[in-house]
Amino acid sequence: MILNKLAEWKEISNSKIFCLFLIFKKLIIIPGEWENFKNNLLQLLEEYNDVDIENMGFPVDWKDRINSI
């Protein structure tokens, strides 16, 4: 798949939810909307820290990937 050719997408499974977050990040055109989504996601993951994010496709460097433009 072409997405895997981009450095940001290396080692990201197309069948996991983290891939959808990266797609969402690329598609958002409303200023500040990604920041709102990202902050809500971070808050949820902190609140529910027992969730297995690795099983959802989150790579080790996931915070760097969602913070990069």
Q: What are the tens digits of pLDDT across the range 15-56?
A: 888 888 888 888 988 889 999 999 999 999 999 999 999 999
pLDDT band at 66 (very low <50, low <70, confident <90, very high): confident
Cα(31)–Cα(18) distance, integer angstroms:
21
Q: Note the pLDDT of residue 5.
A: 52
The ranges assigned to domains in the chain are: 2-67
Alpha-helical regions (H) of the chain: 17-27, 33-47, 62-67
Flag whether pLDDT at 1 surpasses 60: no
- DSSP 8-state assignment for residue 61: T
Torsion of CA 51, 40, 18, 4, to 10 degrees: -150
Flag whether pLDDT at 14 surpasses 70: yes
